[in-house]
Amino acid sequence: MDELDLLKQDWKKQEESLPKLSYNDIYKMLWKKSSSIVKWIFVISILEFVFWGILNILLADGEYWERLEHLHLTEFTIGVYIITYGVTFYFIYRFYRNYREISALDDAKTLMKKILSIRKTVKLYIGYIIISTIVTSIIYSGFYIYYHGLDTQADHPEQYNFTLTQWLIFGGVMIIGLALFTGLIWLFYRIVYGILLKRLYKNYKELRKLEL
Partner 1 sequence: MSVDKELEHQFITNLEKHQNIAHKICRIYTNDKDAHQDLFQEITIQLWKAYPKFRGDSKFSTWMYRVALNTAITLYRKKKREIKTQDFDTVNFKIKAEEYNDEIEQQISLLYAAIRELNDIEKALVFLYLEEKNYKEISETLGITEVNARVKMNRVKTKLKSILNP
The distance of closest approach from Cβ of residue 93 to partner 1 in the complex, given in angstroms and rounded to an integer, is: 22
Q: Helix/strand/coil (H, E, C) string of the chain?
A: CCHHHHHHHHHHHHHHHCCCCCHHHHHHHCCCCCCCHHHHHHHHHHHHHHHHHHHHHHHCCHHHHHHHHHCCCHHHHHHHHHHHHHHHHHHHHHHHHHHHHCCCCCCHHHHHHHHHHHHHHHHHHHHHHHHHHHHHHHHHHHHHHHHHHHHCCCCCHHHHCCCHHHHHHHHHHHHHHHHHHHHHHHHHHHHHHHHHHHHHHHHHHHHHHHCC
151 binds partner 1 (CB under 8 A): no
The distance of closest approach from Cβ of residue 99 to partner 1 in the complex, given in angstroms and rounded to an integer, is: 13
156 binds partner 1 (CB under 8 A): no
Nearest CB to partner 1, comparing residues 103 and 152: 103
Question: Out of 20, 58, 152, 153, which residue is the one contacting partner 1 (CB under 8 A)?
Answer: 20
Nearest CB to partner 1, comparing residues 43 and 180: 43
Give the integer Cα–Cα distance in Å for 23 and 28.
9
Nearest CB to partner 1, comparing residues 8 and 72: 8
Nearest CB to partner 1, comparing residues 151 and 211: 211
Question: Out of 112, 118, 122, 129, which residue is the one contacting partner 1 (CB under 8 A)?
Answer: 112
Question: Out of 107, 151, 155, 158, which residue is the one contacting partner 1 (CB under 8 A)?
Answer: 107
Question: Out of 91, 167, 188, 196, which residue is the one contacting partner 1 (CB under 8 A)?
Answer: 196
Binding site for partner 1 (CB under 8 A): 2-4, 6-8, 10-11, 13-15, 17-23, 26-27, 29-30, 32-38, 40, 103-112, 115, 196, 199-200, 202-203, 206-207, 210-211
